Amino acid sequence: MTEPTQAAMQPFTVDIDTATGAMPGARNRLVRRASDLKGYYADGAALERLITEGDDPLHYEVFEVPVPEEAGQLMYCISKLQAGRVGDECFMTKGHYHTVESTAEIYICLQGEGYMLMKTRDGQSSCERMAKGRMVYVPPFWAHRSANTSATEPLVSFCVYPGDAGHNYGDIQTQGFPVRVFDRDGRISVEEC
Amino acid sequence: MTEPTQAAMQPFTVDIDTATGAMPGARNRLVRRASDLKGYYADGAALERLITEGDDPLHYEVFEVPVPEEAGQLMYCISKLQAGRVGDECFMTKGHYHTVESTAEIYICLQGEGYMLMKTRDGQSSCERMAKGRMVYVPPFWAHRSANTSATEPLVSFCVYPGDAGHNYGDIQTQGFPVRVFDRDGRISVEEC
């Protein structure tokens, strides 16, 4: 099968410290602070205190060297989620479906520990433990959010997804996930909402 | 944008030793020995001696936990290319275009050192150094082959490509690449053919 040749893009390399996720050549695509997560945590008052009295701490960052957001390309990034609690709830990402829902995503945890929470529109739910060296395969049609269960260490993952996948945050913002991850006096607890 | 929900596949995890590329839960999808590389090296007689007198040594292996080979999925694998020489030429993979040529591939080198050789149908050529922690982005429409320049250590990479990419080996088998990688008495040399 021969297609028209359209090799307009040049190969490139990016150095990644696979022990820490540091990617010096990347730019910071996305920064989320506590104030960006309003409405996401069970204890809204605790989040407000964190924002007003806790100096609106950094929640997570996404680092990447951009490639065209097109079918056939592979988007990749380092996701770095800080350790912290909102009340008893572990810091987490907003979570999203892909806009093109038939697209998968691969996470490889490089540092830290946590959970990948996943759910489908037809009511399925899944929760996979993340730890250094563990790859989580998020199949097509599964929304996903990560939570950092460490008290001190960031949860750092290398992520890959198809170039045309896109992000749909709105559905998760309104519906949430079926479970939340808490730190109950040092004991991590995944609890149904 | 909402699509029909077809979440038939369940999430899963795979443990990877990011220092060595060991993936204990994987199956060995592909094994290539010296005898599988007939016609690929500059010194065919040296390859024949390796096969007949050298016990047909292992060249490379690909390990994976399979997912459906469909658009939207992400194929991933560990590629492990042994250290060795055929005459003066460094052990290398066959190399391939993707069958769907508009698809990219990501390599992350976890162990060892070498080169990623790349070329396009319209005559472009590129050669990127591979080393631990270095990611090589192979854009759409670029054929790619790796060569191991270490004298002793395997070249181990984690690879990701779109589920519908496919492999086209035939074109490389007949045309080769514009450069070859040699070990000239311990000095690595990338030479035009």
For B87-140, the pLDDT digits (tens) are 999 999 999 999 999 999 999 999 999 999 999 999 999 999 999 999 999 999
Test the B interface: residue of A2, A74, A168, A179 with most B CBs within 10 Å: A74
For the record, the structure tokens of B182 come out as 């040699």
Looking at residue B2, its pLDDT comes to: 45
Q: What is the pLDDT of residues B136-185, one digit of tens each?
A: 999 999 999 999 999 999 999 999 999 999 999 998 999 999 999 999 99
User: Would you call A143 helix, strand, or coil by DSSP?
Assistant: strand
Q: What is the pLDDT of residues A136-148, one digit of tens each?
A: 999 999 999 999 9
User: Would you call B48 helix, strand, or coil by DSSP?
Assistant: helix
Inform me whether the pLDDT recorded for A109 exceeds 70: yes
Inform me whether the pLDDT recorded for A164 exceeds 70: yes
Beta bridge partners of A181: A190
A140 near B6, Cβ under 8 Å? yes
Q: What is the pLDDT of residues B43-91, one digit of tens each?
A: 999 999 999 999 999 999 999 999 999 999 999 999 999 999 999 999 9
Helix, strand, coil content of chain B in percent (nearest 5): 10, 45, 45
User: Would you call A51 helix, strand, or coil by DSSP?
Assistant: helix
Measured between CA atoms, how close is A170 to chain B, in angstroms?
11
Burial of A147 (0-12, 13-18, 19+ CB in 10 A): buried
Looking at residue A147, its pLDDT comes to: 98
- The edge-to-edge listing of strands for the beta sheet with A113-119 is A125-131, A113-119, A143-148
Asked if B17 and A133 come within 8 Å (Cβ–Cβ), the reply is: yes
CA dist B127 and B125 (Å) reads 7
Q: Which of A10, A136, A160 comes nearest B139 by C-beta?
A: A10
A83 touches B: beta carbon within 8 Å: no
Asked if A6 and B102 come within 8 Å (Cβ–Cβ), the reply is: yes
Asked if B11 and A161 come within 8 Å (Cβ–Cβ), the reply is: no
CA dist B156 and A170 (Å) reads 40
Looking at residue B47, its pLDDT comes to: 98
Inform me whether the pLDDT recorded for A7 exceeds 90: no
CA dist A74 and A67 (Å) reads 8
Burial of B16 (0-12, 13-18, 19+ CB in 10 A): buried
Looking at residue B75, its pLDDT comes to: 97
Test the A interface: residue of B63, B108, B136, B137 with most A CBs within 10 Å: B137
Q: Measured between beta carbons, which residues in chain B are less than 8 angstroms from residue A119? A: none
Measured between CA atoms, how close is A26 to chain B, in angstroms?
12
B12 touches A: beta carbon within 8 Å: yes
Measured between CA atoms, how close is B45 to chain A, in angstroms?
33
Which of A3-7, A19-23, A97-101, B6-10 bottoms out in mean pLDDT, i.e. has the lowest? A3-7
A16 touches B: beta carbon within 8 Å: yes
Residue A3 pLDDT grade (very low, low, confident, very high; cuts 50, 70, 90): very low
How many contacts, defined by CB atoms under 8 Å, are there between A and B? Answer: 180
Measured between CA atoms, how close is A83 to chain B, in angstroms?
22
CA dist A130 and B15 (Å) reads 10
A69 touches B: beta carbon within 8 Å: no
Mean pLDDT of A93-97: 97
Contact residues, B window 146-175, toward A, CB-based 8 Å cutoff: 158, 160-163, 168
B1 near A168, Cβ under 8 Å? yes
Measured between CA atoms, how close is B104 to chain A, in angstroms?
5
Residue B8 pLDDT grade (very low, low, confident, very high; cuts 50, 70, 90): confident
Measured between CA atoms, how close is B47 to chain A, in angstroms?
31
B5 touches A: beta carbon within 8 Å: yes
Looking at residue B185, its pLDDT comes to: 96
Q: State ipTM.
A: 0.93
| Number of alpha helices (DSSP H) and beta strands (DSSP E) in chain B | 2, 14
A10-19 as b/e: b if 16+ CB within 10 A: ebebbbbebe
Q: Measured between beta carbons, which residues in chain A are less than 8 angstroms from residue B100? A: 1, 3, 72
Contact residues, A window 102-121, toward B, CB-based 8 Å cutoff: 102-106, 108, 110, 116, 118, 120-121
A186 near A85, Cβ under 8 Å? no
CA dist A15 and A6 (Å) reads 27
